[in-house]
Structure 1
């Protein structure tokens, strides 16, 4: 039986310390029919030369270079260059077990999506489950902090669905652009979605990563650090019809609002109009959020505190983190 080609895309930026381990973990896959696309996003270290050396040793590796434009641009370039039936994404500071592609492919249906759990900072918790979702249920799972969430690297996508519907990562959004991508993709799926409890993807999460760095006191405010709320707002037009999906989205949107208020507070940047409107949203929907089955307990505490005072929420968040 002919094996379908899988395109594996790795965006690379200043990853000289991790890229070789990442690439070698892909090359050791038990599923052999894949192409590996390394997209160097204007690295200033030795990443590009390391990628080129790796490509010289294995014909399945292709290396692309672009001026620094961000991870979304690098992933989009990979999408354009990919020749596979399916596509997945791996971050250059992570690595995967040798059954990563096998796990994702074993439950993939044409036109659908397959996902797995993650091993986070080597805290592995494989679970013996395989959940089957409708596209509507899958959108809820992406939005829910206890679901498969919006990570692009624990999922296998159908490249034809992406190309036919011109689905790309939004280059202007740097936080939760992956959630927007997944919600948009699921709008155009027409078959079952599968989510496995296995954890073949090793995700390295740092407290000072891109998401949390926006909360650093007195750091210069980058307007893109406020883009989480734009990403989740952008999801609204791609939601499928069930009322339950909209409820899950509203909860996720309110979390994004709180994070955006926290960012403004941390920079003492109460942007005229926007700050007041976001605070109004928190206070208006706080009770519904607290009573919702969606959202982590920590997020609910943050929403409650923000409704009282975003400055108080920031102070307590820093004490806890």
Structure 2
């Protein structure tokens, strides 16, 4: 939309998407925040058809929303997100997985509470695909405990920072940092740790701004890796985060660094 000020760039990486993606895109087309302030960047990675045509047909039927469809032959969620980050024009960035969706006021509420030093966090609700019931979700408990409309040190919500979704991040916080494409697991945590030198506060939305996280039995996030692979990945993650921390230890939180290291070690035993 030429000449319009984009407030939020929504980034959605997708690989051989199921029909879940249209639930995600429908939720974005219903946002209470003006569509003139939003761009929705969908990056189809890997296999092109018939997925590109299906998504493009959806976009053609929803011309009031600012959907942008990109394609890369290179598969991988990190590469797809990096492509979108380079393309993004918004003052703020939010990431959404293609099988998740958001409530109608999600973007508007997060925009109202976020700034260049504060990351806005929503209320997450997790559910198993095909089951009409909410799962017990540890970060939902964090929201329910601290959502009081006030700014907090981000340390109280460390569990929210294992990944980039469920939040609104100022582009000035991200700067030119990107996801590490050499990792197959743990790149989300590494990215969030890397950008943690540029923010200190979080603020929770009202309970109405919801990120619905869908769990599927055969999804990549629910498949366990071998013990050997878990050790290898955790070792690389610890090395990468340690390099960041000790290169600029005055700008990174020591407490947050050690919780990241403990989290990587814990992942070895829990899968």
Q: 1:183/1:64 Cα in 2 relative to 1: closer, same or farther (>3 Å)?
A: same
State the 1:103 CA deviation.
2.5
TM-score (norm 1): 0.67
Higher relative contact order (CA 8 A, sep 6+): 2
1:134 aligned residue: 153
Q: Distance in 1 between matches of 2:171 and 2:78?
A: 16
2:130 aligned residue: none
Q: Distance in 2 between matches of 1:177 and 1:114?
A: 21
Q: For this pair of structures, how many residues does the alignment match?
A: 245
RMSD of aligned alpha carbons: 2.9
Write out per-residue CA displacement over residues 156-192 of structure 1, whole angstroms, 9 at most, x where no aligned residue.
Answer: 11113323xx211111112121111111111123x53
Larger Rg, first or second structure (1 or 2): 1
Following superposition, which runs of at least 4 residues in structure 1 exceed 6 angstroms of deviation? none
- Note if contact 2:230-2:268 (Cα within 8 Å) is conserved in structure 1: no
Q: Distance in 1 between matches of 2:205 and 2:113?
A: 8
TM-score (norm 2): 0.78
1:6 aligned residue: 8
Write out per-residue CA displacement over residues 234-288 of structure 1, whole angstroms, 9 at most, x where no aligned residue.
Answer: 22324655553344234223213435xx6xxxxxxxxxxxxxxxxxxxxxxxxxx
Q: 1:183/1:52 Cα in 2 relative to 1: closer, same or farther (>3 Å)?
A: same
Q: Distance in 1 between matches of 2:74 and 2:121?
A: 29
Please list, as runs of the form range in 1=range in 2, the aligned pairs for 1:285-300 lying within 5 A after superposition: none
User: What residue ranges of structure 2 are gaps of 5+ in the alignment?
Assistant: 128-132
Q: Distance in 2 between matches of 1:154 and 1:103?
A: 12
Q: Distance in 1 between matches of 2:197 and 2:27?
A: 32
Q: 1:79/1:224 Cα in 2 relative to 1: closer, same or farther (>3 Å)?
A: farther
Q: Distance in 2 between matches of 1:172 and 1:247?
A: 23
Write out per-residue CA displacement over residues 275-320 of structure 1, whole angstroms, 9 at most, x where no aligned residue.
Answer: xxxxxxxxxxxxxxxxxxxxxxxxxxxxxxxxxxxxxxxxxxxxxx
1:227 counterpart SS class: helix
* 1:24 aligned residue (18, 23, 26): 26
